[in-house]
Structure 1
């Protein structure tokens, strides 16, 4: 049996979720991950199949904040739900069953195509590196290798084909470079992600007057896109037409260090998204092991007419 077929055969065994001893638990569920939200969304959408699926099937751009914040719950649950994480992973995979079609260039796509589905996961893996490296003090080569191994275990939770998954950290670096240089496209779905000049007021700022938000959001948008450009690989910057100077890089690093310094003052659990926070609390015994999973609050739910759609995470009240 070949190595690839051996890896696929392992899908028959119950996948083992990552736990609190993993670096992925430490980095992925941290609120600092919101700083790379534009990076993750744009990198995912530059994949031809994924971008077409978003353009033709998603209402993300009609409810940006709600979609972002509710998605964090099941995506994080694949890591932090403990014995229930395998079921969460199957639910996440199920949201993609009907996302398929033909793009504007006549290419067929399906969100569950192994290469497409793995690309989204690859961006989550690289997210852990970017969060740690830019906003949590930095990490070394040994930690990146460990995160690579953990991302393979994490991906097994979805019970997808392991065919697209690189064998080693070095293979992954070659895969990532190939995707950035030869596969990703500058498309409408990507530009829509990056166009946030008129984005609605965040739901976590209810106290901010609307007229104030309308005045500051252009500045916020400009700086958020700048922050995102600093996270791109150079071929992606060139693809999208962005410039990046040594001065930009120095400012970017200073900002990251400031974020890290501020978060060192935040209590451990408060650094994490509620789904991740509950995972940490369960393993410490602060919550019962079978405590109900934390679900997104009502304010983040899809519009009422779409809550029964198979493409949406929409927990029952």
Structure 2
């Protein structure tokens, strides 16, 4: 995770740019919290369980050759959508340009394009049920009102990414039938989903971060990787919504559920006690500090 706090000049603001989620909203509280490291893998797994999305990642992504860089860039992009202010819309435009050449044929023999509304919308839609599931274990479950607010904020993020309102269900009530239809008709344990969910023992040691940390990780990697790989697989499967696990064909036992609940109890007790400099990632921390300063100003 990069910690360089030198901010690049903000891009020119366009009058038609959609607004990012509001400061003080639900996403401002959870998107930059360190627990995002636990919720991001199941969201990615749910995305690539769609055959068209999985094929696009399989054919065009560098997640196998540059897994740490790919993860860092995904997280940096997410933080910009929520905390980036005027940079959020610019990041949305950059992502659309990046996805324009991503096209091909999926495992079903169907042609795909990354920016087809059905595919692009599903990639974005997965964040909502995964946030909801993760919050049940790692924090306090959302109330009905908070779920509605989270979904409304997630729709705002979708506009930043270039989704039209017609591409996404307009409300929580409309979301669940859409979601269940995709689970029933589209999802499968694709090649990429199996790789992201499985116990990957080929992951290289981290190649970014402080040099001392990288050197220690490289020296200890043969010892660290097996338990890390098992833990990552366990959390990825556990924080998938149960109906998504069933649709993809993933087993989950009562013993695993008990382990996840115990782990979640520790996380939701310890993380809120951390000071902000340890609880929030740097981009979120800077944005939150700017917002507080402006409110006092």
TM-score surpassing 0.5? Answer: yes
Query: Is residue 32–residue 79 contact of structure 2 (8 Å, CA) maintained in 1?
Result: yes
What is the CA-CA distance between 1:207 and the residue it aligns to?
5.0
Q: Could you tell me whether the CA contact under 8 Å between 2:124 and 2:158 is conserved in 1?
A: yes
* CA positional deviation for 1:49: 1.4
In terms of mean alpha carbon deviation, does 174-183 or 201-210 score higher?
201-210
User: Which one of the candidate residues 176, 181, 185 is aligned to 1:178?
Assistant: 181
Q: How far is the alpha carbon of 1:132 from its aligned partner? A: 2.6
Residue 56 of structure 1, aligned match among 39, 59, 62: 59
Q: Secondary structure at the match of 2:239?
A: coil
Residues 289-304 of structure 1 mapped to structure 2, 5 A cutoff: none
CA deviation after TM superposition for structure 1 residue 164, in Å: 2.6
Shift of 1:96: 0.8
Name the counterpart of 2:274.
266
Q: Deviations over 1:77-126 (max 9, x none)?
A: 01111133222221122211111122243211111111111111112233
- Aligned pairs for 1:210-289 (under 5 A) are 210-285=218-293
Superposition map of 1:297-312 within 5 A: none
| Aligned counterpart for 1:197 among listed residues 201, 205, 227 | 201
- Do the aligned residues in 2 keep the contact of 1:51 with 1:190 (CA within 8 Å)? yes
Which stretches in structure 1 are left out of the alignment for 5+ residues? 1-11, 287-317
Runs (5+) with no aligned partner, structure 2: 1-14
The CA deviation at 1:241 is: 4.0
Give the whole-Å Cα distance in 2 for the aligned partners of 1:95 and 1:83: 19
Distance (whole Å) between structure 2 residues aligned to residue 121 and residue 240 of structure 1: 18
Task: Give the superposed CA RMSD.
Answer: 2.3
TM-score after normalising by structure 1: 0.79
Q: Does 1:148 align with 2:151?
A: yes
Among 77, 90, 105, the residue aligned to 2:93: 90
The structure-2 alpha-carbon separation of the partners of 1:66 and 1:88, relative to structure 1 and needing over 3 Å to count, comes to same
Cα distance in 1 for partners of 2:142, 2:254 equals 21
Pairs aligned (count): 276
Q: What secondary structure, in the 3-state scheme, does the structure 1 residue paired with 2:163 have? A: coil
Instruction: Please say if residues 133 and 241 of structure 2, whose CA atoms lie closer than 8 Å, have aligned partners that are also in contact.
Output: no
State how far apart, in whole Å, the 1-side matches of 2:39 and 2:247 are. Answer: 19
- Return the alpha-carbon distance in structure 1 between the equivalents of residues 50 and 250 of structure 2: 18
- 180, 186, 190: which one aligns with 1:187: 190
Say whether residues 1:30 and 2:38 are aligned partners: no
TM-score for the superposition, normalised by structure 2: 0.84
Kindly provide the CA deviation profile for residues 137-162 of structure 1, in whole angstroms up to 9, marking residues without a partner as x. Answer: 33222211111111112211123332
